[in-house]
Amino acid sequence: MAEVVTRTLTVGLPVNVSSAGTAAGHPAPSPKKTLKAASMLGYDLGDHRSRPLDNAELNAADLVVGFEIAHVATAVIERNTDRGKTWLLPQLVGMLEKVPAGRPWPSDDLVTVARARLAAADGQRSSASPMLGDQIADPIGRPARVHQETARTIEDLCKRMVPLLLLGTRATKGDR
């Protein structure tokens, strides 16, 4: 869901978005309840297939986002991904919201701005572990309403993250 929302929000921008899972063994479609929840928000996950994390992609990425502490731990501890670019989605949005929007950035280039904003957010992050409340629980095996709540949460966080990260601005209420 986060991949599709973020890709939709960054169409035409110099951004590559992909997703992978810590438990994905073989390509599999999204669960029917997740497909329906995404569809209710206007997103089509019909072509999405799960896939396992790839070390080369993790190391080349500017940003690695997980939903649960176990996802971040797998990327950082097992896959040796730089902690400074590895976040829980709610944690990332919270830290980006603390980075001053009016700050002068080193360039007008969106990628350079995003890297600078990530570094600034990481500088504000405590060395302590992420909080349990920063997690987004996996809705698989849960009722349809949980899939819908999770989809809305992910959409809201992505809609807040993209302008904060790439433009240094908050989304307006109409954009969220």
User: pLDDT tens across 65-124, in order?
Assistant: 999 998 899 999 988 899 899 999 999 999 999 888 755 566 667 888 888 889 989 988
CA–CA separation, 9 and 74 (whole Å) = 27
Whether residue 38 has pLDDT greater than 80: yes
Superfamily assignment of 2-175 in CATH?
A: Response regulator (3.40.50.2300)
Q: Please compute the mean of the pLDDT values over residues 121-128 and round it to a whole number.
A: 80
Report the candidate in 6, 15, 50, 55 with the shortest Cα–Cα distance to residue 31.
50
Cβ(138)–Cβ(70) below 8 Å = no
Cβ(156)–Cβ(176) below 8 Å = yes
Residue 20 is predicted with a pLDDT of 86
Residue 176 is predicted with a pLDDT of 45
Confidence label for 44 from pLDDT (cuts 50, 70 and 90): very high
Cβ(56)–Cβ(79) below 8 Å = no
CA–CA separation, 103 and 108 (whole Å) = 13
Report the candidate in 60, 40, 115, 44 with the shortest Cα–Cα distance to residue 20.
60
CA–CA separation, 92 and 159 (whole Å) = 13
Of 111 and 132, the one with more pLDDT: 111
Amino acid 143 reads P
Burial 96-111 (b: 16+ CB within 10 A, else e): beebeeeeebeeeebe
Q: Please compute the mean of the pLDDT values over residues 41-51 and round it to a whole number.
A: 91
